[in-house]
Amino acid sequence: MTSASRLQRVLLVGFMGSGKSSVGRRLAERMGWRFVDFDDAIQRAAGMSIAEIFEREGEPRFRSLEERVARDLLADSRVVLGSGGGWAAAPGRLESVPEGTATFWLKVSPAEAVRRATRHPAKRPLLDRPDALEAASRMLAEREPLYAAARWTVDTERSSVEDVTAGILEILEQDYPEIRVV
């Protein structure tokens, strides 16, 4: 994706707890766009929570729903998308996003991801376990090379939502002069 194409959507990827939803909401607000969280859209489509999908139907069913929802959302424009932590972990996903999509990897350490995830355990069934830090470290090590396919990387470890949002907007304004920030 080149900056010569007109920006139609922003896609935030990264591990659970990296700030995709918080930053995505604020970024969409500042851009005058709408925000859609993949997990929220999946829950609406399934009529049950993420934890219920995992418990009743398993992770393969969740991933199938996630793929379908993502495909539909990536066809939208004037939208900031917060992907699920595992969506971009499938080979080729980031390389196949439509033109006009700015992709950002929101980077976070396993320890910080676990700390943040404990605030919302029902939304994070993969980390709702006694060895959460070990599991997060293992998953993140596997996923990082795939997240790295995003065009830009933004470290969210010690930054506020406002600071991360401002940094992303600065990048977007440089590469996409048509962007107007509210």
Instruction: Give pLDDT, residue 85.
Output: 86
Domain ranges of the chain: 9-174
The model's confidence at residue 2, banded by pLDDT at 50, 70 and 90, is very low
Which of 79, 74, 69, 75 lies closest to 40, judged by CA? 69
Instruction: Tell me whether residue 156 is exposed, middle or buried, using C-beta atoms within 10 angstroms of its C-beta: 0 to 12, 13 to 18, 19 or more.
Output: buried
In this structure, of 9-13, 24-28, 177-181, the range with the lowest mean pLDDT score is: 177-181
Q: Rounded to 5 degrees, what angle do the CA atoms 137, 66, 94 make?
A: 65
Please report how the helices 20-31 and 161-175 are oriented relative to each other, as an axis angle in degrees rounded to 10: 50
Confidence check: pLDDT of 42 > 60: yes
Q: What are 100-141's pLDDT values in tens digits?
A: 999 999 999 999 988 877 765 555 555 666 688 898 899 999
CB 96 within 8 A of CB 51: no
Q: How far is CA 8 from CA 25, 98, 138, 162, in A?
A: 16, 9, 34, 22
Superfamily of domain 9-174: P-loop containing nucleotide triphosphate hydrolases (3.40.50.300)
